[in-house]
Amino acid sequence: MSRVFSGIQPTGEPHIGNYFGAMRNYVRLGEQYGKQSLYCVVDLHAITNPAASDPRYLAARTFDMAVANFAVGLDPSQVTFFVQSHVPEHQELAWIFTCLTPVGELERMTQYKDKTAQLESVPAGLLMYPALMAADILLYKAGVVPVGEDQTQHIELTREIARKFNHHFGETFPEPQAVYNKEALRIPGVDGHGKMSKSKGETSTLGILEPLDSVWQKLRVAPTDPARVRRTDPGNPDVCLIFDYHKLFSDLPTIELVNVECRRAGIGCVDCKKKLMEGVTAHLTPIQERAEELRADPSYVRDALAQGAQEARAIAAPVMEEVREKVGFLK
Ligand code: SF4
């Protein structure tokens, strides 16, 4: 059976875009692949961005990301869930890949260009980021990599690195396949300005662990169909982000009711949002309760991460042994 690998940035609290776009997919793949699905909180990647990796918060954010993933249903006893820096083989393999990868290829990565456009001094880690990502995936000889479409170029480079290593040192790594979850791309920010994204600040996001009254305050003022000025004006749910959210959180009869009644002004936007809030509450309450239980039992979370790192190393160590031998290091 092929393995699944996915890296999770320790960026603090995940939002509903992360939840519908990635986290639910992890749970599904976890049920399918069991221990062969590996999920890794990528703290080594996080420190390539000094602005997002304040040492005062990095450990807490890493911990919180584990809590959030466990709370949505990822069971650490069923999958392999660990922290990247707890498995040093990631860095060792990344160095070998760095030595195989031309600087020109790393420099033409779109994300590298975007991230460095405003920087006066560029940390070398930002350039090497895709080599570390290739190491994350290939260390486990993973065949399936669930990612957002913004990672396409990095996965292509990972495949290229695998080919290059195999060519130089003999067949070792499979070429992984990216698996995209299209739902992620369609989730608009609650401020109405494009995709929901943490980089746009809290006005754009609805956190899955955010207090429900705060979620309601954001929904209450969220933009709707701009052509619907008065309560008596018919609306168009197809251009309204509230209807997009209904499709994620509400049951089918509610979605159908909004779809019909909005178009003939049979429902007002406030009532429509209240109906949405019922679905949001039903969906997020059990997740938030589970997160509270986990936070109250930090040793459970830490033990699960230590166990996950052990399981990951059990796969990684023999792969690194094979790599060291093929590269020609003295035993
Ligand atoms: Fe949007 Fe609902 Fe208002 Fe229609 S009734 S415009 S779907 S908030």
* Average per-residue pLDDT for the chain: 94
CB atoms within 10 A of CB 150: 12
- Triad 34, 40, 45: Cα angle to 5°: 160
Whether complex ipTM tops 0.85: yes
Which residue is listed with tokens 């494009």? 194
Which residue is listed with tokens 């195989």? 100
CA distances for 42 relative to 46, 48, 52, 188, 303, angstroms: 6, 11, 13, 26, 18
Residue 182 has a pLDDT of 66
Q: From the alpha carbon of 273, which atom of ligand 1 is closest?
A: 8
- Concerning whether 218 is annotated as a catalytic residue, the answer is no
Query: Strand pairing partners for 39?
Result: 6, 81
State the SS3 of 211-226: CHHHHHHHHHCCCCCC
Of residues 35, 164, 195, 247, which has the active-site annotation?
195
Domains (range + CATH), the chain: 4-187+298-327 (3.40.50.620), 211-290 (1.10.240.10)
The predicted model gives 226-231 an average pLDDT of 93
What whole-number distance in Å separates Cα of residue 234 and Cα of residue 269? 11
Indicate if ligand 1 lies below 6 Å from the C-beta of 128: no
Residue 289 has a pLDDT of 98
- Concerning whether 195 is annotated as a catalytic residue, the answer is yes
Q: Provide φ and ψ at 170, rounded to 5°.
A: 100, 155
User: What is the percent of the chain where pLDDT is above 90?
Assistant: 84
At 130-152, the pLDDT tens digits run: 999 999 999 999 999 998 888 89
Positions at the binding site for L-tryptophan: 136
Query: Does residue 183 register a pLDDT over 70?
Result: no
Q: Which of 45-49, 166-170, 205-209 has the lowest mean pLDDT?
A: 45-49
Q: Which of 39-43, 85-89, 116-120 has the lowest mean pLDDT?
A: 116-120
Q: From the alpha carbon of 225, which atom of ligand 1 is closest?
A: 6
Cβ contacts of residue 33 below 8 Å, gap of 6+? Answer: 1, 2, 3, 4, 79, 144
Going from the Cα of 134 to the center of ligand 1, the distance in angstroms, rounded, reads 44
Q: Are 5 and 40 in contact (CB under 8 A)?
A: yes
Helix, strand, coil % in the chain, rounded to nearest 5 = 60, 10, 30
At 238-267, the pLDDT tens digits run: 999 999 999 999 999 999 999 999 999 999
What whole-number distance in Å separates Cα of residue 72 and Cα of residue 166? 38
Query: Does residue 184 register a pLDDT over 70?
Result: no
The predicted model gives 276-286 an average pLDDT of 98
Query: Does residue 12 register a pLDDT over 80?
Result: no
Residue 118 has a pLDDT of 86
> Residue type for 125, please?
G
- Total-model pTM: 0.92
How many angstroms separate the first and last alpha carbons of the chain?
Answer: 31
Residue 303 has a pLDDT of 98
- Concerning whether 141 is annotated as a catalytic residue, the answer is no
Cβ contacts of residue 217 below 8 Å, gap of 6+? Answer: none
Q: Are 32 and 11 in contact (CB under 8 A)?
A: no
Query: Does residue 196 register a pLDDT over 90?
Result: no
Query: Does residue 90 register a pLDDT over 90?
Result: yes
What whole-number distance in Å separates Cα of residue 157 and Cα of residue 176? 11
The predicted model gives 61-79 an average pLDDT of 96
Indicate if ligand 1 lies below 6 Å from the C-beta of 262: yes
Task: Give the closest residue to 206 by CA, choosing from 18, 69, 9, 61.
Answer: 18
The predicted model gives 291-319 an average pLDDT of 98
Positions at the binding site: 9-11, 17-18, 136, 148-150, 187, 195-199
Residue 34 has a pLDDT of 97
Going from the Cα of 235 to the center of ligand 1, the distance in angstroms, rounded, reads 6
What whole-number distance in Å separates Cα of residue 91 and Cα of residue 103? 18
Task: Give the closest residue to 25 by CA, choosing from 67, 65, 74, 83.
Answer: 74
Structure-token pair, residue 311: 């399981």
Indicate if ligand 1 lies below 6 Å from the C-beta of 89: no
